[in-house]
Amino acid sequence: MDSVTQAALGAAVAAVVAGKKSTPKILLAGAALGTIPDLDVLIGYGDPVSDMVKHRGFSHSLFILLPFSWLLAQGWHQWRPSHFSFTQLWLLIAACLITHPLLDAFTSYGTQLFWPFDISFAVSSIFIIDPLYTIPLLVVIFASLFWREKMAKLCGVGLAISTVYLAWSVIALQLIESRVEGDLAGTPLENKPVFVTPTPVNTVLWRVVVLDSDTYWEGLTSLLDKDKTIDFIAKPRGEWLLNEKPEHLLMLEKFSDQFVRYQQIDDKLIVTDLRLGMAEYLPFSFAFAQESDNDEWKMLSPEKMEEKRVRPKHLPALWLRLLGNQNINANLCHIKECPDDMNSLL
C-alpha cells in the first residue's frame, strides 16, 4: 500500500495499543514505525528487476520484524524510560511494524511474510491506493487531535471501519472469482491460469487476465454489471526469442507467476509483468535483449522501460465501466470506437 496509508495505519494501531496513554507523539511514532518496512526501497540490488522482485522481502518478514521490534523496545525502554511497561512498548512497536506487511499481503504485488523462505503472499483483493480504506483512518486521526481524551477509541473506530472494508474486498474478490469461473466454464479457457485484481482505487471494477499459450485474454467485470458475461480481448503474449533465459528473466517469471508478455519493440526484446496495471498502463516492463545489425540478439542488463502517461479520456471511461457500462472494454475504449478489440471465447 502507499506510504500515507501505511503511516495512517501505524498511527491508528499505536493509539489503540497505547489506550488511555495515547498522545499526539504516540500517533507520530506509530506513523513512523508503520513506514519503516518500506525503507527497503532505498536499497539498490544492482538492476531494476532485482529491485522489483526483492522489494517486500526481508523488511516485510515476520521473522525479521518480531525480533527487530524487541530490539527497538529494549533500546527505547533502556535509554528513554517511559510510563509504558516493556511488554506494552514491545506490543505497540510490533503491532505497528507487523500490520504493514499484513496489509501489503492483500495487494497484487506479493509480500514475503516468511522470508527467507521463498513464499510470497498476494491475496490481490485491494489496490495499492484505495481511499475507502485510507480515509476513515485519516479522519479519526485528525479528529483525535481535537478530542485527545477519546484518541484511542476514535482510532479504534477508524481501524474497525478500514478492517471491515478490507474484509469486504476479500468477499468481493470471491464473488468475482466465482463469476469468472462460471463464465469460462465450457470454453477453451476453462482451467487455464487466471489472475483477478481490482482496478485502481476501488473494489467494484475488477480486471481479469487469462493465460492461453501465446495469447492472453483480458476482461473487465463490475459488481454493478447487469450482464454477468465478461467480454474478453485476445492479446498476443509473444514468446522469448532466444535459446536460453537469463537469470533475471527467470526471477521475473517466477515473481509474476508466469503472467508475463514478450514483445519486440524496435530493436529490443521487452518483457512485461501483466498482473500490475491495466489496459496499456503496465508499469513493470523491462528490456532484456537488443538486436544487432546482423539480426543477432545480445543480452542486456535489464533496463526498466518508461511508463506511459495516463490519457485523460481513459479516466471517465474507467468510471463509466465501474458503474456498469459494458460498452467499454478492457482497453478502456468504447466498442463503437474500437470494434476490432472484441473477441469471442466461443
What's the pLDDT tens digit per position in 77-133? Answer: 888 767 788 899 999 999 999 999 999 999 999 899 999 998 999 999 999 999 999
Q: Which three cell numbers stand for residue 185?
A: 466454464
Phi, psi of 11 (to 5 degrees): -65, -45
Beta bridge partners of 328: 334
- Give the chain's count of helices (H) and strands (E): 9, 8
Mean pLDDT (whole number) for 228-248:
93
Three-state SS for 245?
Answer: coil
Mean pLDDT (whole number) for 203-214:
95
Mean pLDDT (whole number) for 242-257:
93
Count CB-CB contacts under 10 A for residue 180: 21
For 147, left (φ over 0), alpha (ψ -120 to 50), or beta?
A: beta
> What integer pLDDT is reported at residue 202 of this predicted model?
96
Question: Residue 18's closest CA among 154, 165, 139, 164?
Answer: 154
> What integer pLDDT is reported at residue 344 of this predicted model?
54
Mean pLDDT (whole number) for 141-156:
94
Mean pLDDT (whole number) for 36-51:
92
Question: Strand 205-212 relative to strand 285-291: parallel, antiparallel, unpaired?
Answer: unpaired
Summary mean pLDDT of the chain: 93
> What integer pLDDT is reported at residue 346 of this predicted model?
47
Mean pLDDT (whole number) for 242-253:
93
**What is the CA angle 245-251-256, rounded to 5?**
110
CA–CA gap between residue 49 and residue 224 (Å, rounded) = 37
CA 322 to chain centroid: 19
> What integer pLDDT is reported at residue 313 of this predicted model?
87
Q: Which three cell numbers stand for residue 133?
A: 480504506
**Span 168-188, pLDDT tens digits:** 999 999 999 999 999 999 999
CA–CA gap between residue 7 and residue 29 (Å, rounded) = 9
Please say whether the beta carbons of 261 and 237 come within 8 A: yes
Number of residues assigned to the chain: 346
The crossing angle, in degrees rounded to 10, of helices 131-144 and 151-184 is: 180
Residue 208 has pLDDT above 60, yes or no: yes
> What integer pLDDT is reported at residue 152 of this predicted model?
94
**Span 278-325, pLDDT tens digits:** 988 999 999 999 988 777 889 999 999 998 888 888 999 999 999 999
> What integer pLDDT is reported at residue 345 of this predicted model?
55
CA–CA gap between residue 275 and residue 108 (Å, rounded) = 7
Please say whether the beta carbons of 165 and 326 come within 8 A: no
241 or 221: which carries more pLDDT confidence? 221
CA–CA gap between residue 155 and residue 173 (Å, rounded) = 27
> What integer pLDDT is reported at residue 134 of this predicted model?
97
The pTM assigned to this predicted structure is: 0.92
> What integer pLDDT is reported at residue 338 of this predicted model?
78
> What integer pLDDT is reported at residue 334 of this predicted model?
86
Please say whether the beta carbons of 34 and 13 come within 8 A: yes
Band of residue 1 on the pLDDT scale cut at 50, 70, 90? confident
Q: What percent of the chain has pLDDT over 70?
A: 97
> What integer pLDDT is reported at residue 343 of this predicted model?
60
> What integer pLDDT is reported at residue 93 of this predicted model?
96
Buried b / exposed e over 136-162, threshold 16 CB at 10 Å, is bbbebbeebeeeeeebbbbbbbbbebb
Which long-range CB contacts under 8 A does 265-268 form with residues at least 24 apart? 267/291, 268/300
CA–CA gap between residue 324 and residue 221 (Å, rounded) = 8
